[in-house]
Structure 1
């Protein structure tokens, strides 16, 4: 009887530990790792990669990156990558960034700079110039991205505030 009580007690303790870890992982903000790459001599790229889900449950990769050229000039883009064959991004329209306070900003499409064959760009990849928008974003407020797709529909992606904070950290870094 004593061994059964110990077994039940140990099982309950183990169950509570697993439950606590699961809850903490579910509510803890996900932070991205900021990577540093040297693309060419003196040209650095700093990037943060995150995974986002759209309203259909499809997974997207969001890659925010800052490129610093040897002369010190920098650019900041957001690349959104969906699964091939699932969507076709409409590059004639901007990406919309909206916060819960009602502010909406538009990011211009920069996708043409990433494709070597402009006659056949990957339809599931879009790149947007968000450098002019970053100072206007509040890092404590999550965003909703509205990505236009061919056919007049849109893809909606929710961006946690922690991702916005990572983007602003990248943007403000003086590296």
Structure 2
């Protein structure tokens, strides 16, 4: 009788151990897939590659913005690294005469120049809720462990604040430093 109970307890223990092992391995697999899935690559033209990372950011009003960080490597090898911010159409008109302001929780600030003129085929009618900024000169200065805020100027004088999680900054730096 005691042998029967011990074998039952042992079999339940093995079952529990198997389940815990499978869950642990499964979570590790999904975590790695998520990290790898953040960066995509595409060939824009012969000899020109683009590597990009896409995330969603929220502004102070709860509106979603798409943040697309991308590294472009043209045939001449002169790499560029930009951040494109896309708001919902009709939500805001970005003031492209002002740079993107990056601030951290310690009071450090940097600016990124507007490069939106490179993305619109018709400069007389640029998309008002899309802005693009050159992050290359300042990306290595951003500290992953310090929270970051992006501040966009709107045409109506309002400032749009976008909170950037440290994992996004880390992904941008990984994208920029990769030697593809």
The two structures have a TM-score, normalised by structure 2, of 0.79
Residue in 2 aligned with 1:10?
Answer: none
Shift in Å at residue 171 of structure 1? 0.8
SS of aligned partner of 1:109: coil
Residue in 1 aligned with 2:68?
Answer: 63
Determine whether 1:166 maps to 2:179. Answer: no
Q: C-alpha separation between the residues in 1 aligned to 2:91 and 2:156?
A: 13
SS of aligned partner of 1:118: coil
Shift in Å at residue 89 of structure 1? 0.1
Q: C-alpha separation between the residues in 2 aligned to 1:37 and 1:72?
A: 16
In the comparison of the two structures, how many residue pairs are matched? 148
Given the alignment, which residue of 145, 148, 153 partners 2:150? Answer: 145
4+ residue segments displaced more than 6 Å = none
Shift in Å at residue 174 of structure 1? 1.1
- Tell me, which stretches of 5 or more residues in structure 1 are unaligned? 1-27
Given the alignment, which residue of 41, 45, 59 partners 1:40? Answer: 45
Residue in 2 aligned with 1:112?
Answer: 117
Q: Name the structure with the higher helix share.
A: 2
Query: Rg bigger for which structure?
Result: 2
SS of aligned partner of 1:96: strand
Q: Kindly indicate whether the alpha-carbon contact (under 8 Å) linking 1:142 and 1:164 is maintained by their aligned counterparts in 2.
A: no
